Amino acid sequence: MPFVETNGINLYYEERGTGEPLLLIMGITAPGSVWEKHADYWQQDFRCIMGDNRGVGQSDKPAGPYTTAQMADDYAGLIDKLGLQSVRVIGVSMGSTIAQQLALRHPDKVRSLVLMCPWARCDRTAEAIFRHMATIKARLRPEEFATYIQLLIYAKRSWDDDTMFAAFLTGRQQAAVDSSPQPLHGLEGQAEACITHNTLAELPTINKPCLVIGGQNDIFTPFWMSEEVAGAIPNSDLHLYEGAGHAFHWECIDDFNPRVRDWLLAH
């Protein structure tokens, strides 16, 4: 079990594949293993490094609140401990806010960025969603909480797809018996990091190539957030999948995986 001590915590990480390093930073509530369907593909071209964020999985879960700056420093320490130089970084949802902070606070460690469904700052709706997640985590059964997350992240096209819907039902059942669930205080810490994240004023200083990518129908982190981030980072490309939600990366995986690989190979 690989752990590094970084920024005062033990951070768990896994590696797959060979090639130049590609750091994958997952979103709120999810451990790094949730990158599986993407790492399966990208490992052919990159050495994929997947951490469990502070507050979830096998990493430490200290008392919160956390900040995205603090969580970025967690990964800066990981990069140092692995003896890496400048790495490509992909962050999804909360992971994309951490990736922004990594590029801002440790620019020498970042070669290029893929920011999936990012935000530069929360509006009232987003703040309410994150607070609500923490509130209902203590009140809903794990399978009910999983349903709420599914409602947030999947678009109509997925709900209407029999195969995807069957996977939703399975996911709820699995949540009910998960042997290492995210504890409430870990979610609270992460939610606070999401809410307090505000890098809009600093984003113009990021001089790395950046791909901002998301779903046009995202109701969790709406497309205006992606547009705001892409508009603020000078050297950025923007791609929004029509009809896709927050989970666009699974909903459009046949296009998403090679598109991101190609962009990374070029940047």
Partner 1 sequence: MTSSFRFGAEAYTWFMNNNGLTHVNRLGHMIDITAQAGFAGIEPIFNWMGDLPDPESLAKKLNEQGVELAAIALALDWNGTEETEQERYEADRAIALLKHFPGALLCTVQKPTGRHDLEIRRQNLVNIVNRVSRRAVDQGIPCSFHPNSPHSSITRTEEDYRVILESLDASVTGWTPDVGHMINGGMDPLTKMKEYASLINLVHFKDWNGEPEFALLGKGKVDFDGITRWLIEQNYSGWIICEDEGPEAMDDPDGVTLHDGRWVYETLLPSVL
Positions that interact with partner 1 (CB under 8 A): 61-63, 137-142, 144-145, 179-181, 183-186, 188
DSSP strand E in 17-103: where?
20-25, 46-51, 87-92
CA distance 222 to 218: 5
CB of 188 to partner 1, least distance (A): 6
Nearer to partner 1, 61 or 197 (CB): 61
CA distance 223 to 128: 18
Tokens of 3: 């752990």
CB of 185 to partner 1, least distance (A): 5
CB of 75 to partner 1, least distance (A): 22
Residue 65: asked if its preceding bond is cis (omega within 30°), the reply is yes
CA distance 56 to 252: 26
- Chain Cα centroid distance, residue 58: 16
CB of 182 to partner 1, least distance (A): 8
Nearer to partner 1, 73 or 188 (CB): 188
